[in-house]
Chains A and B, each alone.
Chain A
Amino acid sequence: MAVEIPERGLKMRYAETGFNLEIDLSRGNIERVATDPELTKLHLGGLGTNARILWDRVPPDADPFSPENLLIFGTGLLCGTPAPGANRTIVSTFSPQTQLMAFSMMGGFWAPELKYAGYDKVIIRGKSPDLIYLWIHNDKVEIRDASHLQGKGALETAELIRQELNEPKAQVAAIGLAGENRVYFASIEQGRSSASRQGLGAVMGDKGLKAIAVRGTKDVNIARPAEFMDLCNDVLKYIQFREKNPIPGVIPILAVLGSPQEMAIHDEAWHTQNFMWGNSRDRRKDFWNEEVEKKWTETMESMRTRLISCYNCPLKCGATISVPGRPTYMMKCFSKLTYTMAAYSDLDFGFRIAQRATEYGVDGYSTPQVMAFALELYEAGILTDQDMPGMPSDTEGRFYWLLDKIVRREGIGDVLANGTYWAARQIGKGAEAYAHNNIKKHEQLPLKLSMLNPVYFLMYATGEKINITQIEGQYPQGPFPTMEEREAFVKDWFQVPDDRFKQYFLDWEPRGERANPYYPTVEMSCEIVDWQERMHYIDDALGVCAGLSSFHMKPPYHMHNFPALISAGAGIEMDESGLTQAARRNRTLVRAINIRRGMRRADEKPPEDHWKKRFPELEAELLDAYYKFKGWDNQGIPTKGCLHELGLDYVSEDFLQRGILTNDKGAPANEKPA
């Protein structure tokens, strides 16, 4: 099926194309729909407009695996413009694992290509009876048979599609076997990038959609060209400055820009000795030594072919990895070590199993933990040989065995494929205690620390992006030891939205009265968290990579140049308060969507064992204060006043109707706990 619709009589749009593709897979219907420019002004794009569509169109009780659930591939507002690093695809749907809104993202080349094809989003609804893929080539859009791609790897699928279309320049986002079999932590893979968290691949598989291939040859327009280019050139200049001036006194991955430079570095002392091994269990403080470093360096040097980038970004956060005897694949970030550490193995094993995992299309954070969790249950006698028939005796062999069972949903794999939270409940016999590293039913980074950090407590508790790296960044993770170092750090810290943040940092001490957990104070913690989160929400609306922005303390994109970039690029008048308001609107709308699905305060807690030293009273105080700061009530529900201020009256009307808010001042109605 193909449609061609000419455009006429529509107003010129800048940075965005002004069109979405609406695809109903149940009926095989394809429509090209002009979007409302007012929505761009309110929500900017990307995550913001994705959230608006999910709020408007998916009933709050919709099962993630139902035809009425939408799967949205949204580009950020600045994707496809010359803004460096604006290349993120924001994929949004409802997660089978958390049952909440999922909005994982991927870099790479897909989002700009979609813009050049003339669309801002692809919105998928319904379910195809047979496995299909989409081919979007400018105005020509086709639903094509994918039965021959069934069971094929994600990268393999992309290659086969490019070959059969004879379109080497097509960008392909695809699922592997895990997505087809609705594994709750299945990813969507796209060359060197993936949208991995929250099971987006499972929803794609449920819809019978194997891949979306895109090729575009149209223009993306800029509202005020000269001004916009000056801003882009400033960004590039600052990237070069930062390359020559790493931040002293912080761990290597925070000292330089980009997604953590895991593919470039050999020194893994920090990760291997501070992050936990196995099922987020053991810290191995003496692991790293010369011998390990030599061996791992050799592995890396022999398998890494090239450091590579996403579209229009000079940072090289990814790498092509060629493991002898296996197809080449691409890797980025911390997935380098997740399999290695979960299996107590080495880098050679990590690279080998990651190749298979990438083709299967699974999340590199959750998957190793699920497998380590299964082996813990086995060692504890909760899972027995009857559950694991034919499992090899060595740990590495067991990991391969488990991975295959999970992505095929065979035997115990069918249970494990639901992630540790649900699997533990299905298995019972005390298995729940082993699913210890979840927030909102989703596996977290394997990190266990000593002293509660109030800022991190709030970010872990209230984050709806599920991953700490998607919230943290702008403010240092810990205090610097000496005043001299702190003063040096704040000297050129112009990215802060307000100078008071510099003072908070100057006064923050490693020990004593002005130290964690009581300093930063509750009020300061609220402001710091709000700022960090705001920057991520701005990135996610604009499609700018956090590696050049919100993940870093001194990034080239910040609160002071974003408004001008939006104004000059998209022609939307914007200043800092307007941008803050738009980010708040998007953040509140995401919260509203999850509140409507039943999320409440009880869900907002970091893993019990995340810190050894916990402070229940302080934590309650932090949460109370933060909710209030955000304009939410003590269940975390946005109040009528807050919603009104953000132009979200339609949300409070809905909340009133459902009894989530009551009519007097929008105070909470009788809440049943989530």
Chain B
Amino acid sequence: MAENKKRIIKTIKIDVDKCNGCRACEVICSAFHAAPKYSGNNPERSRIRVIRDPLRDIYVPVYAGEYTAAECMGRDKYTIDGKEYDECGFCRASCPSRGLFKEPDSGLPLKCDMCEDDPPQEKPLCVQWCLNDALTYEEREEEAEEEVKLDEMETGLESLASKYGLQKVRDAVARMSMKD
């Protein structure tokens, strides 16, 4: 049985109304993650990007999330308070559909690590460098169910499901059961 455990949820709160579009978050992120640390900077390597279009008053800081090998079947486009945002404008994925969140040299995906690498920072640096408080940081504790560990066979099944879809696996298992 899974037992209850506490975990820390880290949230960067983004207030797009407060964003002044200066991109200091991109500067400090790419500098912090340079190797050696701070040895250079390049917004293209930043794990936060401000999607900005000043004349349409669009300012959306977006964090690099998961890498995805395939793009979504369709795309989304939000209109909020009469402002039409960019296609996939709020999505965090490093995705083949766009150039965002990829290392400019290797094309490898980038992902925000909340500045947890050595030494861990009190707050993510983008938050520290955002003096206009468009980015603020919050930590809270949450009850979390400990994950049930999968055994070897389940791991194998899961990868099959991920490759072929659960329904196909289910059908195959069903067919195999009928043969018995």
**Which residues of A pack against B, CB within 8 Å?**
80-82, 84, 109, 116, 155, 159, 168, 191-192, 216-222, 225-226, 228-229, 236, 239-240, 243, 305-314, 316, 320, 327-330
Contact = CB atoms under 8 A, between A and B. Distances in A.
Interface of B: 20-24, 27-28, 31, 34, 36-45, 53-57, 59, 104, 129-132
Given A82-B28, A192-B54, A330-B54, A309 B20 contact: yes
B31 A218 contact: no
Given A82-B27, A308-B21, A311-B22, A217 B131 contact: no
Given A236-B131, A309-B20, A312-B22, A217 B57 contact: no
Contact of A155 (B23, B43, B55): B55
Q: Interface centre among B36, B59, B104, by most A CB within 10 Å?
A: B104
Contacts of A219: 34, 40-42, 45
B22 A191 contact: no
Contacts of A329: 55
Nearest to B53: A168
Nearest to B57: A305
A220 B40 contact: yes
Contacts of A225: 31, 34, 36-39
A328 B55 contact: yes
Given A82-B31, A312-B27, A306 B42 contact: no
Given A82-B28, A311-B22, A312-B24, A222 B40 contact: yes
A309 B44 contact: no
Contacts of B59: 306
Contacts of A81: 41
A218 B104 contact: yes
Given A316-B132, A328-B55, 15 more contacts: A82-B27, A84-B24, A109-B23, A159-B55, A168-B53, A219-B42, A221-B40, A222-B31, A222-B38, A225-B34, A225-B38, A228-B38, A308-B54, A313-B24, A327-B55
B82 to A, nearest CB: 12
13 contacts: A81-B41, A159-B55, A217-B104, A219-B42, A220-B40, A225-B31, A225-B38, A236-B129, A308-B20, A308-B21, A312-B23, A312-B24, A320-B55
A218 B103 CA distance: 10
A311 B23 contact: yes
Q: Which 6 A-B pairs have the closest CB atoms?
A: A225-B38, A314-B131, A217-B44, A309-B22, A219-B40, A217-B104
Given A191-B54, A240-B131, A310 B38 contact: no
A116 B44 contact: yes
Contacts, number: 93
Given A191-B54, A222-B40, A328-B55, A309 B31 contact: no
Contacts of A305: 57
A192 B59 CA distance: 15
Contacts of B53: 168
A314 B24 contact: yes
Contact of B20 (A82, A218, A316): A316
A216 B45 CA distance: 12
Contacts of B28: 82
Contacts of B27: 82, 312
A235 B147 CA distance: 46
A220 B41 CA distance: 6
B166 to A, nearest CB: 38
Nearest to A306: B57
Nearest to B24: A312
Contact of A217 (B24, B42, B129): B42
Contacts of B22: 309-314
A159 B104 CA distance: 25
Contacts of A309: 20-22
A329 B55 CA distance: 7
B110 to A, nearest CB: 13
A16 to B, nearest CB: 12
A192 B27 CA distance: 20
B131 to A, nearest CB: 4
A309 B22 CA distance: 5
Contacts of A216: 44
B55 A307 contact: no
A239 B24 CA distance: 14
B8 to A, nearest CB: 26
Contacts of A314: 20, 22, 24, 130-132
Given A219-B42, A221-B40, A225-B36, A320 B20 contact: no
A108 to B, nearest CB: 10
A84 B131 CA distance: 11
Contacts of A80: 41
B15 to A, nearest CB: 13
B57 A220 contact: no
B34 to A, nearest CB: 7
A226 B38 contact: yes
B107 to A, nearest CB: 11
A191 B132 CA distance: 21
Nearest to B55: A328
